[in-house]
Amino acid sequence: MSTQPLVVTGDLPPGATERRWSPISSTLISGRQDAVLVDTFITVEQNRQLAEWVEKSGKNLVAIHATHGHGDHFFGVGTIRQRFPNARFVAPRDVITVMRRQASAAVFESFWNSRFPGQIDANPVIAEELSGTVIELEGEELVSVSLGHTDTDKTTCLHVPSIGLVVAGDAAYNDVHVYLAESSVDTRNEWISALDIIESLKPCAVVAGHKRPGSEDSPRIVEETRQYIRDFDRIAAATTTAEELYNRMLALYPDRLNPGALWSSARGVKS
């Protein structure tokens, strides 16, 4: 399931009249009866719809897992748990560190609540620490794989070897502009290594944390994300202003969703 809400901000990309958030994906991994949800959405309204969608599956939600600590992937846990009070919320210790920072009063107010005023659960639930790296679902293993820096620090993906699935979180993007605002030359290299790790798992399907609704969850997005980061890196080194970097990347990737994310990336590395 995925969705794309409006962002309240005066910081618009050149020529744009509004900004939307990138479409976010949330993945339900189902057994015969039980299921695990990977990542949630931002606003209460989006997460109510997500809870309904999970309910319609008829599965018993036993756990919610967050791939990384960005608020747009875990602020919905409280809303989901109103419907599924027995679902545990788990994440690796490192992810929880970033999560706490995102939910802190300062970041929550200045970044999240200013963009989505009054629309987000004001008391985000913080995950309990996943002991080890495995979430068990009816005897099958869902394995948390540490990826280091991708679109933020201390990120992971969730690998389900029995079905060849990787839920990539924000390590991979699918036809959406990649968020590189937190990156440097070094961490962009770290991100490339993270993509190498995903590729080494030889997945049949890779679900991106941000994807164009309806697009195929093809492993091909791993190389596409890698290429996007390399192009960004090269053009960032060859340009001076955010506008130049933005325009040259947009010329290369005119069709990806959410140029606003590209604008944040350009501003982030050129500020």
- Six-digit token string for 116: 């989505």
Residue count, binding to Zn ion (CB under 5 A): 3
Shortest spacing between CB 68 and Zn ion, in angstroms:
6
Shortest spacing between CB 251 and Zn ion, in angstroms:
25
Q: Between 170 and 217, whose beta carbon lies closer to Zn ion?
A: 170
Shortest spacing between CB 115 and Zn ion, in angstroms:
14
Q: Between 79 and 264, whose beta carbon lies closer to Zn ion?
A: 264
Lay out the sheet containing 2-3: strands in order across: 2-3, 24-25, 205-211, 165-174, 155-160, 140-148, 134-137
Q: Is 221 exposed, middle or buried (0-12, 13-18, 19+ CB in 10 A)?
A: buried
Q: Between 71 and 78, whose beta carbon lies closer to Zn ion?
A: 71
Span from 45-53, 65-73, 196-204, 227-235 in contact with Zn ion (CB under 5 A): 65-73
Shortest spacing between CB 241 and Zn ion, in angstroms:
25
**Nearest-angstrom CA–CA distance, 239 and 261:** 18
70 lines the binding site for Zn ion (CB under 5 A): yes
Q: Between 151 and 224, whose beta carbon lies closer to Zn ion?
A: 151
39 lines the binding site for Zn ion (CB under 5 A): no
Angle between helix axes 259-270 and 242-252 (nearest 10 degrees) is 140
Q: Between 14 and 213, whose beta carbon lies closer to Zn ion?
A: 213
Span from 42-50, 66-74, 82-90, 140-148 in contact with Zn ion (CB under 5 A): 66-74
Q: Which of residues 135-194 bind Zn ion (CB under 5 A)?
A: 151, 170
Span from 67-75, 76-84, 110-118, 196-204 in contact with Zn ion (CB under 5 A): 67-75
Q: Between 151 and 217, whose beta carbon lies closer to Zn ion?
A: 151
- Six-digit token string for 190: 């770290």
Q: Which chain residues interact with Zn ion by CB under 5 A?
A: 70, 151, 170
